[in-house]
Chain A
Amino acid sequence: MSLKKPNYIRPLDLKNGRVDMSHGSGGRAMAQLIAELFAAELGNPYLAQGNDGALLPPPGGRLVMATDSHVVSPLFFPGGDIGALAVHGTINDVAMMGATPLYLAAGFILEEGFPLADLQRIVRSMAQASRDAGVLVVTGDTKVVEQGKGDGVFITTTGVGVVRDGVTLSGDLARPGDRILLSGHIGDHGMAILSQREGLQFDASIVSDSTALHTLTAALLDCGGQLRVLRDPTRGGLATTLNEIASQSGVGMVLQESAIPVRPAVDAACELLGLDPLYVANEGKLIAICAPADAPRLLAALRAHPLGTDAADIGEVIADAHGFVQMVTRMGGRRVVDWLTGEQLPRIC
């Protein structure tokens, strides 16, 4: 991003203006958009270097790098928006590797005609999320596509972080006997989005759980103990994420349905739309798999943190060559908790 301010004739019309093709052309209009909107909101010394990339100090330690693209619709939803989500999503991917997130890069694909006021609101929310998390957006890029070729705005963020010495977390480290911890209620984010999309009203509104989880992961790492896997169950929900881990580690799992926290409003919305909360996306929850002896201590650490007050021990890793994730239902019966198939299409009767 180039931030040197040329001599503009008129400031950006952030009230009624819209994105046009010139905002992505590399010319003066783009420079103005960057200076008056992106840099104004996200400003920090690295961004202010104004070069093609950010020059950063050596981090000292093993690096983690993660990237995530965000295409959520609607762009604004209860509990968040695409801007905050783009910050949280990537911070969480870095944090799940046991790393302290340090910096973010952000790429914007804007659709011609997108209101500048909405863009400002998104970037402002991104800046707030980044300040709250203490992770700076140090470089970025903007492109504009013709009307009809995008959906308002798409944001890709890339994050880097540094891993503490001695910490190794990986999806292939789960072992039979390990406990499976979950940091709180599932399905909040997906149902907040869906109920907004479908215009559903509930007595208790459903709010996205979108948040940065690196302080929660830090609390777990501070505990010591044998933590093997950390992962945030985003797309595909808890069920899909556990299947990924089971398949990576070559193990099975047994969950207790009664132990998995689901808010009544989320449960009701899922019921109405024919969805299963196990497959609904989260943006502020984590799964921690740990040695059985350390489970009580790590669970206590989760519960002591504001983002983990409703944490629960939801099941056990078992030896199973077939890699099935099974669940003992509330009824006392058993079922497989399978990978998500296709999209979650609602049942019809």
Chain B
Amino acid sequence: MLHIIACCKWVIDEVYIKRGRGEEIDFSSVDWKISDYDRHALEEAVRIKDSLGGKVTVLTVGAENAVKGMKDMLSRGADEGCLIKDESFARLDPAVTADIIAHAVKSRLSPYDLIFFGDGSSDLYARQVGPRVAAKLGISCLTGVRKIAFKDGYVEAERSLEREIEIVQAPLPVAITVLPEINTPRIPGVKDTLLASRKPVLNLSSCDFPDYTVPAVRTVAIKAVRLDRGCVFFENNAGGISSLVEELKKKGILS
């Protein structure tokens, strides 16, 4: 019986982020979602459980609105949830998030065999939490994983590096961070959503954790990226396209 933990982050959907005045970001109409790569992490956990048997616990750390996130996560095939929620957990440094997850896993979710993460989050993309949790727990971490198989009690994984594919073998327990090409996440149906609210959830808050030192890294500003180049349009016909070519000549790109 495998115990598989999938860690998911509830994040602002960047599609709804608009540039406000100047460099400000307009968060007024944002929606939230499960971080993209984390959906693949949860899907992989559920697929392994379905083929080898066991239990999937989905874990999230966040502020009040993570309650909604947990329900979404539970509708995607996890058996149980671990919701670590506190107002002070809204914008955590990845180092602190990792400490919290490692503490929860050690004290409340052990024994475990596999811990899945997305390779990076849709909001911060710091790519730190997976390897840091593994380091805290003293287990191996396989990052950038695009394929997994099980052989003789070992995990065999394909890691996608910059110029190579590295095939590695690791004993359990192990932490794995996945790339999106590993699978296609399911879309939960109405029944899955209804069932989700009946699944057991372990609720934890800041009082269940030791005081973590205030991270030495602090965010001093978040600025919207200005990308607008004032697009000039041309018709998709011979006349329009020769005008485009003329413009490219003016810019010194063609001669």
Q: Do A and B come from one complex?
A: no
Interface residues of A (CB under 8 A from B): none
Interface residues of B (CB under 8 A from A): none
